[in-house]
Structure 1
Amino acid sequence: MALTAFNKNRVAIANELVRLRGENCWVDIVYYENAPGDAKNVDDTIRQTLAKTANGRSIQVTPCRFRVGTRDVVTHNKVMMIDGFYDDDITPRVYTGSANFTYMENSDDAFVRISGRDIHTQYLSWFYDLRSACRG
């Protein structure tokens, strides 16, 4: 997953990710890391939930903020990729759009699902590049 904001209003998603990791699913998240003093895009409730282990397994989490010249670079993407058996389906999928994992009511955000191995592979390659850049 790559995301900009994730807060306690969507803690059920974080709990499901921890549960899936405990069942030996690989869960890897890159998120927008705020500058010191800024409000957190990923709040403490979510950070604490994602830090939990299940069956001795933990989620890989990469905060993203790095400097290029005089500017900070952060991720603004909202992408979730699934490859494997989930919800009675094994087709690789990509969910992307403008919606953060925050409040959903009174919002004009959208999330779409794109199914298929080829598109999933392309997004996964992009994700690995993003994660590498964010790690410095």
Structure 2
Amino acid sequence: MKIKYGEVQFLAKWLLQNLSLAGKSNRMRIRFVEILGIKANELRKYYLQLLQEHCYLDDQGVPKTVTVENDQTTYDVIDPTAFERDLRELLEETFTLELNDENKEMLLSIRQSLIDCPTPWSGDQALEHEMVAKLFDQIRD
């Protein structure tokens, strides 16, 4: 199963907020969300590396921040276009969650929970459900 880094937080939040599960199905979902948490931490690490590469740094090597309109603080990026390009590239990178002995039961359980979900989806929720379902459609028994 291939997942983009940019989908990790959405996917974890959606699974937790939109599927009412109990017992084993819930445990399998929580296990998957924990794996997504590890990937979210990786994403944060890579994001911090991008900041190191693209920002002006202070004396301690920490990316500098600047205050912009409405007293918002943002990073002092040297070349915003290059930073945005590299960030977009990072968010589009995929990682693979193999359908191996360790993950098979978990992934098949979540896929089945999505299939069996009795919730009638409409509007944005229908689009979000379709996005999640397509990710899990990659999984074959």
Name the TM tier (shorter chain): under 0.3
What is the TM-score with the length of structure 1 in the denominator? 0.26
Greater fraction helix = 2
Q: Using CA pairs below 8 Å that are at least 6 residues apart, which structure has the higher relative contact order? A: 2
Greater fraction strand = 1
